[in-house]
Amino acid sequence: MAKASLPSAAPHTTASGALSDKDLLQIYRTMVAARTMDERCLTLQRQGRIGFYVPLQGQEAAQVGCGWALAPEDWIFPAYRELGLALVRGIPQKLLLDQFIGNSGDTLKGRQMPNHYGYRSYNFVTASSPVGTQISHAVGAAMAAQRRKDPIITISFFGDGTTSSNDFHAGLNFAGVFRCPTVFFCQNNQWAISLPRERQTHSATLAQKADAYGFPGVVVDGTDVHAVYDAVVTARRRALAGEGPTLIEAQVYRLGPHSTSDDPRRYRSDAELAEWKGKDPLARLKHELLASGALTEPGDAQLWSDAKAQLASALESAEATAPVDPLTLFDDVFAVRTGGLEEQRSEFAGLLKDGVIQP
Ligand SMILES: Cc1ncc(C[n+]2csc(CCOP(=O)(O)OP(=O)(O)O)c2C)c(N)n1
Ligand SMILES: [Mg+2]
């Protein structure tokens, strides 16, 4: 594809490559929204109001900085920890909570695991729980875009542990051979559940694995939105110019548990956690914004209280949304329901009506 025919850039890509104070404030606001929602979701799960949740604390700058560099047309293939990415893409909190609850507002009709949201209208593919499968999906979609000459990229998100998976190898190998317009975004959060980074691979970095596939691999400080944003802008330009993929390793730390089913105190030290808490990406960006005068302490306090209020209203509305209709169980299998399925549906409807089965 000739460079002249490329779309100008993602909406937030500036000619100078630098993020303006306005951009940074919006990025910070999104990171605050993500942190607020993350903390609340952990509590909601403990209260039995949602079934399962996978936290992102510590990874906000990596996700929001990355998402800021993407165009809305780019297709996102997430893992399961990408709440910050979902928010920077503009997915409403109410819609996400509908999925966590599995109510009638859930676009997936309560059929997916909680926290495994996906939205066709946001080019955001449903979360992949089997580690690594999203990498192959993203490469396949990139090959399709390449053939159709669609001026977009695809991007997959995965963790350090996933670089040990079969799909990582298959995906990166294909992408390198076919120079696919795709970006591999690895959030190295130092742990794959209870397995530390050094037990995953003897490679000095995860990014260097790209060498074997014949394309660039870069390491960035994932707590620094500038570094992440720059790396993604560069990788995206490269992909669109027909120069092939890039592997980005964003070095971060998972401050919370792996998921609501995990207790990290059983396998990692308080000292390690304390060290990384000192590198909290929100504190880092706040410090920068205060120093530049783009934010004040009262402005920051206001921003947090706005985030809490916005979330409370989304939650109230999601919890007031009717449950998913059990009869939707029979939808979406065939374009036209077969006779047998129709019969089963009527029988099921009767059982529901008579109260034999409770929704
Ligand atoms: C194919 C497969 N094997 C094992 C698991 C269980 N599992 C879920 S998450 C996870 C660790 C993934 O670690 P990493 O890639 O570092 O991502 P992180 O959870 O740290 O973001 C494992 C082994 C799985 N989901 N899929
Ligand atoms: Mg990890």
In this structure, are residues 229 and 18 in contact, taking their beta carbons and an 8 Å threshold?
no
Q: In angstroms, what is the span from residue 130 Cα to ligand 1's centroid?
A: 7
Closest CA to 14 of 4, 25, 22: 22
The predicted structure's pLDDT at residue 328: 93
Parse the chain into domains and list their residue ranges: 3-323, 325-359
Number of helical (H) and strand (E) elements in the chain, helices listed first: 12, 7
The predicted structure's pLDDT at residue 9: 55
Residue 306 has pLDDT above 90, yes or no: yes
To test ligand 1's pocket by mutation, which of 131, 158, 255 has the most ligand atoms within 8 angstroms of CB? Answer: 131
Mean pLDDT over residues 62-67, rounded? 98
Residue 2 has pLDDT above 60, yes or no: no
Higher pLDDT: 60 or 13? It is 60
Distances (CA, A) of 308 to 30, 44, 302: 12, 14, 10
Q: What is the number of the ligand closest to the CA of 189? A: 2
Flag whether the pTM goes above 0.85. Answer: yes
Mean pLDDT over residues 262-291, rounded? 97
Closest ligand 1 atom number to CA of residue 79:
21
DSSP 120: G
Q: What is the number of the ligand closest to the CA of 54? A: 1
Q: Which residues contact 280 (CB under 8 A, 6 or more apart)?
A: 58, 223, 255
Q: Half-sphere exposure (CA, 13 Å, Cβ side) for 189?
A: 31
Residue 195 CB less than 6 A away from ligand 1: no
Residue 130 CB less than 6 A away from ligand 1: yes
pLDDT, tens digit, 9 for 90 and up, residues 239-268 = 999 999 999 999 999 999 999 999 999 999
Residue 6 has pLDDT above 70, yes or no: no
The predicted structure's pLDDT at residue 320: 98
What is 3-323's CATH topology? Rossmann fold (3.40.50)
Q: What percent of the chain has pLDDT over 70?
A: 95
Mean pLDDT over residues 276-282, rounded? 97
Residue 331 has pLDDT above 70, yes or no: yes
In this structure, are residues 108 and 87 in contact, taking their beta carbons and an 8 Å threshold?
no
Residue 5 has pLDDT above 70, yes or no: no
Residue 304 has pLDDT above 60, yes or no: yes
The predicted structure's pLDDT at residue 145: 98
Which of 176-180, 224-228, 324-328 shows the lowest mean pLDDT across its residues? 324-328
Residue 116 CB less than 6 A away from ligand 1: no
Establish whether 345 is a catalytic residue: no
Largest Cα–Cα separation, the chain: 68
Residue 97 has pLDDT above 80, yes or no: yes
The predicted structure's pLDDT at residue 333: 84
**Residue 184, strand partner residues:** 156, 247
The predicted structure's pLDDT at residue 358: 85
pLDDT, tens digit, 9 for 90 and up, residues 131-162 = 999 999 999 999 999 999 999 999 999 999 99
The predicted structure's pLDDT at residue 10: 67
